[in-house]
Amino acid sequence: MNDVKLSKRLALVLRHRPDSIGIDLDANGWVPIHTLLAALDEHGISCTRADLRRVVANNDKKRYEVDETTDRIRARQGHSVEVDLALEPTVPPPVLFHGTAHRNVSSILATGLNKGGRHHVHLSPDRDTAARVGARRGAYVLFGVDSAAMTSTGQTFWRTENGVWLTDRVDPRYLNLDAPEQRPVPHRQSQP
Ligand code: HQG
């Protein structure tokens, strides 16, 4: 399996469907590397320790984290299965960004940003990153998020180790649609 496919499979297993290869994640999302490799092998996916290390190290968004002491691996964020990432609430920069498909705009302006299938709403620290997130699904728009105002009302934010800002919900009053001319040209981004 090439590295891109392997990385996508890891995302599936470590965030959404550990059962697809018959493994469990612990409460914090970790699985022993030897357990993962054995389960992948049993399901016909060839992956050596070296392959795994390469995919983790080269991953464009540092999606995976290895704990050297306990020899375990987990996804840093993006889970749909129940996990506690044990992140500390953190004060965000005053403005964050969210890129989304153009077709979502009217719904978002009406009801705000909702977490959908994920555990949190994901926000980006800069326009470039938000543009890449939005452009995954074609024509996109950028929202500025008034995180300073949200923080002042006591809303909690967390920052993942790979720099994604998380919160539970963004009410429409804290969203500003970015003017189209301010949109950066996105760079295609693919795993790993
Ligand atoms: C949209 C990728 C209509 C929201 C990326 C988004 C990111 C609404 C979609 C990370 C809505 C959910 C997260 C509403 C939210 N009406 N649409 N009220 N509220 N939405 O993929 O933020 O590759 O679950 O705008 O790079 O796009 O997984 O979230 O378009 O960092 O590592 O609902 O996923 O990283 O889509 O992306 P997603 P996202 P990874």
In ligand 1, the atom with minimum distance to the C-alpha of 117 is 24
**What is the structure's pLDDT at 45?**
94
At residue 152, what is the residue type? S
- Cα R_g (the chain), whole angstroms: 18
Query: Is the same domain home to 67 and 111?
Result: no
Residue 65 falls inside a structural domain: yes
pLDDT value of residue 175? 98
User: How many structural domains is the chain composed of?
Assistant: 2
Asked if the structure places residue 154 within a domain, the reply is: yes
Residues 107 and 149 in one domain: yes
Tell whether 105 and 169 lie within a shared domain.
yes
Helix 49-58, helix 33-42: angle, nearest 10: 110
If you measure from the C-alpha of residue 100 to the centroid of ligand 1, how many angstroms do you get, rounded to a whole number? Answer: 7
Mean pLDDT of 74-93: 93
Q: How close is the Cα of 129 to the center of ligand 1, in Å?
A: 13
CATH code assigned at 58: 1.10.10.970
Do 69 and 102 belong together in one domain?
Answer: no
Q: Which residues line ligand 1 (CB under 6 A)?
A: 61, 63, 78, 100-101, 104, 107-108, 111, 113-114, 116, 118, 122, 133, 164
Its sign, for the CA torsion 119, 99, 125, 9, is positive
Å from CA of 77 to ligand 1 middle: 13
Q: Same structural domain for residues 53 and 8?
A: yes
**Atom of ligand 1 at shortest distance to CA of 15?**
28
The pLDDT of residue 190 is 56
State whether 108 and 71 are in the same domain.
Answer: no
Whether 20 is covered by a domain: the verdict is yes
Query: Per residue in 117-175, pLDDT tens?
Result: 888 999 999 999 999 999 999 999 999 999 999 999 999 999 998 899 999 999 999 99
Do 19 and 58 belong to one domain? yes
Residue 39 lies in a domain: yes
- Domain span at residue 112 reads 95-177
Residue 89 lies in a domain: no
Q: Which atom of ligand 1 is found nearest the CA of 118?
A: 24
Q: Which of 129, 167, 175, 127 is nearest to 151 (CA)?
A: 167
Q: What is the mean pLDDT of residues 170-184?
A: 78
Helix (H) or strand (E) holding 64: strand 64-67
Domain match, 61 and 99 both: no
Question: pLDDT tens-digit profile of 3-56?
Answer: 999 999 999 999 999 999 999 999 999 999 999 999 999 999 999 999 999 999
pLDDT of residue 156: 97
Same domain, 64 and 102: no
